[in-house]
Amino acid sequence: LSELEALMERMKRLQEDKEDEEASQEEMATRFEKEKKESLLVISGGICAFPVPFSFDDEIVSTDVSRYIEDPGFGYKDFARRGEDHLPTFRAQDYTWENHGFSLVNRLYSDIGHLLDEKFRMVYNLTYNTMATHEDVDTTTLRRALFNYVHCMYGIRYSDYDYGEVNQLLERSLKVYIKTVTCYPERTTKRMYDSYWRQFKHSEKVHVNLLLMEARMQAELLYALRAITRHLT
């Protein structure tokens, strides 16, 4: 099967498995922990820990980002050290954007919550109902996997989501691309962009980038707003 056909087959199989039998809470928690720990290994010092079709050493654009920041040492750091047995987890049910963050940010800055919420929803729900040359395709499962994987990298877990879907729908090269775009955007190259979903349209792959950026922004807001909430109470 081609990359596209294999992905569509996995999506179909996931839907059938979900209808037949749902995973237990214990199984879903275990799958989340596995994905969370694996995400720490996706990039190590700019080199992928997984065998993928490309290497960061092959093509890293030397981008000087110092002009855009005051602290040259500023950059993304994994939320936990590799090798730790008990990694911190942000339980989404305890502090969600819809039930907590949205109202707080509106209190702090009038109407900004509505604008942010509209932006999140628009990007998350954006779809042509296509996958490359296939039409009338429900891409909800795939969009949810992309969004939730970014949150997983930041240690955020949704208790009602089965992270086994992430492992089945997002191949390793795509996970490397996701973490690079989300955490180390200055390292992203066209070769990396071209290496995944080769049969997809550019508009569909650009939508992936939009999803990743909005998921990252929401994750950062959740951590910041939760801290503010704790300070206020």
Looking at the domain assignment, is residue 180 inside a domain? yes
Decide the pairing of beta strands 47-48 and 43-44: antiparallel
Q: How far apart are CA 1 and CA 99, in angstroms?
A: 43
| Cα distance between the two ends of the chain | 55
Looking at the domain assignment, is residue 163 inside a domain? yes
Nearest residue to 61 (alpha-carbon basis) of 193, 217, 215: 193
Write down the pLDDT at residue 17.
82
Write down the pLDDT at residue 97.
96
Write down the pLDDT at residue 45.
39
pLDDT at 57 over 90: no
How many domains is the chain built from? 1
Looking at the domain assignment, is residue 9 inside a domain? yes
Looking at the domain assignment, is residue 57 inside a domain? no
Domain region containing 80 = 3-51+75-232
What pTM value is reported for the model?
0.87
Letter for the amino acid at 51?
A: P
Q: How far apart are CA 161 and CA 159, in angstroms?
A: 6
Write down the pLDDT at residue 15.
86
Q: How far apart are CA 11 and CA 134, in angstroms?
A: 14
Out of 16-25, 38-47, 169-178, 182-191, pick the least confident: 38-47
Looking at the domain assignment, is residue 66 inside a domain? no
Looking at the domain assignment, is residue 61 inside a domain? no
Q: How far apart are CA 141 and CA 164, in angstroms?
A: 12
Write down the pLDDT at residue 21.
76
pLDDT band at 63 (very low <50, low <70, confident <90, very high): low
Looking at the domain assignment, is residue 97 inside a domain? yes
pLDDT in tens, 189-216: 898 899 899 999 999 999 999 999 999 9
The mean predicted confidence, pLDDT, of the chain is 86
pLDDT in tens, 119-150: 999 999 999 999 999 999 999 999 999 999 99
Write down the pLDDT at residue 119.
97
pLDDT band at 116 (very low <50, low <70, confident <90, very high): very high
Looking at the domain assignment, is residue 159 inside a domain? yes
Write down the pLDDT at residue 81.
66
